[in-house]
Amino acid sequence: MLKGKNIVIGLTGSVAVYKICELIRLLVKAGCNVDTIMTESAAKFINPYLIEELSQNKCITDTFERVAEFDVKHISLANKADMFVVAPATANVVGKIANGIADDMLTTTIMATKAPKMIAPAMNPNMYSNPIFQNNLKRLSEYEDYIILPTGEGEMTCGDFGSGRMLEPKEIFARIKRELSYEKILKGKRVLVTCGATMEDIDPVRFITNHSSGKMGFAIAETAVSMGAEVTLIKGNTTAEMPYGLNVINVKSAADMFEAVKANYKNADYIFKAAAVADYTPKEKALNKIKKADGNLSIELKRTDDILKFLGENRKEGTKICGFSMETEDLIKNSSKKLTSKNVDMIAANSIANKDSGFGTDTNRITIITENGNKELPLMTKEECACEIIKTLTEM
Ligand code: CTP
């Protein structure tokens, strides 16, 4: 979805500059055209030739002899950029941009571009918390076309501990993708997503669960964020890699998930209930580990609450709800029943009869069931499915 996008990266003088190699690699792999501009101090940390090798484009740097061609080039970069990323962004460059100083190739190009500008700060915790820097950052964040990325916490190269660590390349990549991949059709909307498997304790050692990896729910959450929504993700046990920077509420059992949903569903405009929730839980959880004995063991199970049904019956006016259904037989018949019995707008049904669809796969074969009929989607990536599911629900 980033294919053909022009990304310009401005690299400044921070130790974190080496991480930009990975960011460039991810962007190039995704089909982007990557151009780079380095400040003089960035070029002291890393050789521009390496950046050129990775991006397959000339890296503009002030350390190179100035030729007239560069002046033209920086304006053409400013014009062609779909996104301008300053990473790592030092206190110095943030200060310059926030105060309208354009005294080198990078800051001049930023001044000239109308593209959205993403700033990924990287610095020592004391510099990061300095009120002068924070004021500059705040000033930039007040402009609509500036996206200020948060920083991580941890031990810095200098040995200090605190905020100021640049986001990891994978995360910066995900943020770029979010900005550029989809039309922002969910801007101003609140979306609630549940995902993953619930775990029902038998005793302090064992539990009952299922094979849900969380991939489909993650794809819905990530795509909804990319479409501009404010997303809350209620997450059971998952094995898939979690998208970055989401508002996540971790739960364990079906009962925990129900409580979290009850506390968060009221403001939601759209609800996607992708979690695989246990229908039964042990009637009693043993306080101590159950010791083996001769013969078989029976564990009595009791029904859990049907969370989706609760949502269908208690939703506020205007909230649209999509449930998910996974079947091994009679997919359409069984899933269609859930549309009415749970009073929801849509069921995304998928069969686990095929190896390329269902638990843990990257692809799915979904049939979207609504009262208007069924739409059978071809084999798609879970992200493509998520896009179709969200669009169909919002267009209803
Ligand atoms: N669901 C729920 N609460 C439960 C069980 C299921 O909210 N206790 C939701 C799931 O998150 C999913 C939908 O209901 O969105 C369908 O789940 P599924 O397990 O396919 O169906 P069930 O309603 O559990 O029915 P059955 O197990 O008989 O197929």
Burial class (CB in 10 A: 0-12, 13-18, 19+), 20: buried
Looking at the chain, the whole-number percentage of residues with pLDDT higher than 70 is 98
pLDDT for position 37: 95
Q: Rounded to an integer, what distance in angstroms lies between the CA atom of residue 157 and that of residue 168?
A: 15
153 — pLDDT class (breaks 50, 70, 90): confident
291 C-alpha vs ligand 1 centroid, how far in Å?
Answer: 32
Q: Rounded to an integer, what distance in angstroms lies between the CA atom of residue 126 and that of residue 124?
A: 6
> Is the beta carbon of 308 within 6 A of some atom in ligand 1?
yes
> What is the tens place of the pLDDT at every residue in 273-300?
999 999 999 999 999 999 999 999 999 9
Rounded to two decimals, the pTM is 0.90
Of the listed 21, 32, 158, 387, which one is catalytic? 158
Residue of minimum CA distance from atom 17 in ligand 1: 325
320 C-alpha vs ligand 1 centroid, how far in Å?
Answer: 17
pLDDT for position 66: 57
> Is the beta carbon of 369 within 6 A of some atom in ligand 1?
no
Residue of minimum CA distance from atom 24 in ligand 1: 279
Compute, in degrees rounded to 10, the torsion defined by CA atoms 325, 326, 332, 335: -30
Tokens linked to 204:
């302090």
Residue 158 is a catalytic residue: yes
List, in order, residues 6 or more apart from 86 with CB less than 8 Å away. Answer: 9, 10, 12, 93, 97, 106, 110, 117, 118, 119, 120
Residue of minimum CA distance from atom 6 in ligand 1: 277
Q: What mean pLDDT value characterizes the chain? A: 94
> Is the beta carbon of 70 within 6 A of some atom in ligand 1?
no
pLDDT for position 158: 74
Tokens linked to 21:
């190699």
> Is the beta carbon of 325 within 6 A of some atom in ligand 1?
yes
